[in-house]
């Protein structure tokens, strides 16, 4: 089993407010026959600057020809042009092209391909973004997708908007600047910013709902992923009242965030009065509640791969491979975890990098420059729906996946 699975029950229960598990893994040995990559796939997004003259806008057929002539040189001429397969996924801005090529031999690491100077030069010269992935039959079948909230599913940073709304933005931004300069660790910076909010009335959450702006395409992307059968969750360094609101807006089941101590503690089962009856934030976090930082986001990805898995191992085929769970284990037998290759994570900050690297597809969306440099994939578009094109769907299929129920 995944080395983090032993902590799945405690992490999930403490963060979500429930100790129930529907499906759990018990044995990793049955996953050795997962589909192997049969090719490399490059998804190419052409998005010229909005004020570009027509000469800088490349017709997609021309872009396809440029790509097919460029790729053999990228792999030291071991790639035959006849083996390149091209698909047009989207014909208007952003134009999206998918190119599949046989795995080079020997196969370089994806990181080494992504950071090839020739590839980055091609991106600069033609105003394109290229996402490189291994192609397997499971690429279009994600089963777990986790999103950061601030700057990803919504445009703003929740704590900044909260502080701005109550006239304490300068104090909070000064602490943020210290954290960005490396003077404060994330947890210390979070506690310091929360302390500034002491005495703020809890009605602030309702006021923020009218201020926070959901990212374009967020609802459609979540709808499409869930239509594909994926579990979708939010893992945020923000605060539970706003994450709970956003989860309701997007129809998301799993949500994890930091919990502020106040007169009204929001739980997964609804409002619950605390011993403090002032109706104001106390300026501290709920004692003993885990802080959602980069390590916790990674742990939640691992644990949800176990606890969110909807696929049982059907007996009796695997009975000899999947021994019964021991009495000491909190997990029922014969359930398999979600393979990492069928997970997606999307974020924009440095604290998202560990989960971006650990997922089958980790996307830095409109992220900070350092995050874009280090993430497995990056997108700088206006709509989160673009993530669906990375799964190999064309525009018609994306429209079908994201349609509202009739």
Secondary structure of 107-149 as H, E, C letters: CCCHHHHHCCHHHHHHHHHHCEEEEEEEECCCCCCCCEEEECC
Residues forming a β-bridge with 177: none
pLDDT tens per residue across span 323-365: 444 444 444 444 678 999 999 999 999 999 999 999 999 999 9
pLDDT at 268 over 70: no
Name the band, by pLDDT with cuts 50, 70 and 90, for residue 2: very low
What is the pLDDT at residue 309?
A: 61
- CA–CA distance, 325 with 83 (Å, rounded to integer): 47
Higher pLDDT among residues 307 and 381, named by residue? 381
Least confident of 112-116, 171-175, 211-215, 311-315: 311-315
Provide the pLDDT for residue 53: 58
Question: What DSSP string describes 78-109?
Answer: -S-GGG-EEEEEESSSSEEEEEEEEPPSSPPP
* Average pLDDT along the chain: 81
Cα end-to-end span (Å), the chain:
41
pTM of full prediction above 0.85: no
Give 273-326 pLDDT, tens digit per residue.
Answer: 443 344 899 999 999 899 999 999 999 999 999 887 655 444 333 333 334 444
Rounded Cα–Cα distance for residues 66 and 130 (Å): 14
Q: Give the pLDDT mean for 14-37.
A: 41
Phi and psi torsions of 31, nearest 5°:
-100, 10
Q: Which residue has the higher pLDDT, 356 or 108?
A: 356
Instruction: Please identify every residue annotated as catalytic.
Output: 148, 150
* Token pair of 291 as six digits: 């802080």
Confidence at residue 34, expressed as pLDDT on a 0 to 100 scale: 54
Sequence-distant (6+) residues with CB within 8 A of 245 are: 205, 209
* Mean per-residue pLDDT, 251-257: 94
- pLDDT tens profile 221-242: 999 999 999 999 999 999 999 9
Residues contacting 151, CB < 8 A, separation 6+:
157, 348, 349, 366, 367
- Over 60: is that where the pLDDT of 32 sits? no
């Amino acid at each position: 089993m995944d080395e983090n699975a032993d902590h799945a029950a405690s992490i999930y229960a403490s963060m979500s407010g429930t100790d129930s598990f529907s499906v759990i893994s018990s044995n990793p040995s049955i996953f050795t026959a997962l589909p192997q990559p049969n090719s490399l796939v490059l998804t190419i997004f052409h998005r010229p600057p909005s004020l570009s003259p027509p000469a800088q806008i490349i017709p997609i057929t021309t872009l396809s020809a440029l790509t097919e002539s460029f790729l053999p040189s990228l792999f030291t001429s071991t790639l035959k042009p006849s083996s390149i397969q091209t698909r047009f996924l989207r014909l208007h801005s952003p134009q999206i092209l998918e190119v599949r090529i046989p795995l080079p031999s020997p196969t370089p690491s994806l990181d080494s391909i992504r950071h090839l100077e020739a590839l980055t030069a091609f991106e600069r010269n033609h105003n394109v973004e290229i996402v490189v992935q291994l192609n397997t039959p499971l690429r279009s079948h994600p089963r777990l997708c986790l999103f950061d909230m601030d700057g990803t599913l919504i445009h703003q940073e929740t704590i900044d908007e909260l502080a701005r709304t109550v006239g304490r933005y300068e104090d909070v931004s000064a602490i943020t600047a210290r954290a960005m300069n490396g003077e404060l660790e994330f947890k210390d910076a979070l506690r310091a910013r929360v302390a500034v909010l002491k005495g703020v009335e809890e009605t602030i959450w309702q006021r923020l709902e009218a201020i926070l702006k959901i990212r374009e395409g967020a609802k459609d992307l979540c709808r499409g992923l869930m239509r594909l059968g994926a579990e979708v969750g939010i893992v945020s360094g923000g605060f539970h009242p706003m994450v709970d609101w956003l989860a309701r807006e997007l129809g998301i089941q799993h949500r994890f965030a930091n919990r502020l101590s106040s007169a009204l503690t929001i739980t997964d089962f609804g409002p619950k009065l605390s011993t403090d009856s002032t109706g104001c934030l106390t300026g501290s976090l709920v004692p003993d509640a885990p802080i959602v930082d980069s390590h916790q986001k990674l742990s939640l990805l691992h644990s949800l791969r176990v606890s969110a898995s909807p696929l049982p191992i059907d007996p009796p085929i695997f009975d000899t491979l999947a021994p019964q769970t021991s009495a000491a284990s909190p997990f029922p037998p014969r359930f398999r975890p979600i393979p990492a290759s069928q997970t997606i994570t999307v974020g924009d900050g440095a604290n998202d990098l560990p989960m971006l690297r650990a997922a089958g597809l980790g996307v830095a969306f409109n992220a900070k420059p350092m995050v874009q440099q280090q993430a497995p994939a990056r997108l700088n578009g206006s709509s989160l729906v673009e993530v669906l094109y990375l799964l190999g769907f064309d525009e018609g299929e994306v429209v079908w996946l994201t349609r509202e129920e009739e």
